[in-house]
Amino acid sequence: MVYLLPLFTVFIWGGNAIVNKMAASTIEPSAMSFYRWFLAVVVLTPFCLPKVIARWSTIRPHLAKLTFLALLGMVLNQSLSYYAGLTTSASNMALITSLVPLIAIFISVPILSKPISLLSIVGGVIALFGLTFMLGKGDVGFFFQQDITPGDGIMVIASVCYAAYCVLLKRWKMPLSNWTMVYMQGLLALIMLTPLWLTSDALIPTQHALPLIAYAGLAASIAAPWMWVKAIDLIGADSSAMFMNLMPVVSIALASSLLGETIHDYHIAGGLLVVSGVVLSQLKLKRQVGKRLENVKQV
């Protein structure tokens, strides 16, 4: 039953790609980003604000780092995802997002001084080939013939932002609880998103946009992070991370059934290569975990 936690989390985050695409035709990206975190902050405030006030002396020295993390993970990553939904499919968005763990491995080299394994390099080549195959609709040489779709390019930038966020989150270990981190970053993101929201043509969301805001603000921003943190506590970060490879599968299945997107052979072939490359890049980490477990058993 414990493994249902990361599985449900992946389903929620996989569904978020569908929400991103649906939001593109329902509400302006600037307003969607703002209302998502407005709702999340309102719900979290009664629980988190007293703790923030009590520990303000500990939080204050880390405000600059928290602000930068909020900019990467909650402003740029999520806002760009909504803008990407205007010109690309939910399937493409999900497959590009699945590259985040792989991108994080390579960003970890200069930031965390981590060496890259041969498996990570091979996995990276396979994943990039799969992504190129998918974006080129079966033609890996399309980069030399035509420009990349704006939405796909925006999603690549969004994925790099989130990968950098994940690496910096590990680099800047702060003496704060997970919920305090989420709340403070959400609050700082809301402040940064306010000027962008004020540029929207329609400041008040329509009735059709409310379910999308509720899903993004409650399910994707509160419920999913809580289940993910709980899963990490119970089964470990390495085991939980492997479930993330299911996210593009969930998103593509939902895109086909809910949005009527046609799933072509190049989606399946490219997607399998992307997921295989990402899994391959994680195998070394998994083996190390296995060795540690063997050492524990021997003791």
Asked whether the CA dihedral 114, 232, 183, 177 is positive or negative, the reply is negative
Tens of pLDDT, residues 35-77? 999 999 999 999 999 999 999 999 999 999 999 999 998 899 9
Consecutive H or E run containing 174: none
The predicted pLDDT at position 215 comes to 93
Tens of pLDDT, residues 232-265? 677 765 566 667 767 777 787 888 888 787 777 8
| Whole-prediction pTM | 0.80
- Has residue 152 got a pLDDT over 90? no
Average pLDDT over residues 90-94: 81
- Has residue 284 got a pLDDT over 70? no
Q: What residues have CB less than 8 Å from 96, skipping those under 6 apart?
A: 131, 152, 155, 156, 159
CA triple 100-67-15, angle to 5 deg = 40
Residue whose C-alpha is closest to residue 181's, from 221, 241, 240, 232: 221
Question: Do the beta carbons of residue 115 and residue 40 sit within 8 Å?
Answer: no
CA dist., res. 161 & res. 177, Å (int): 23
Residue 91 — φ and ψ, nearest 5°?
-65, -45
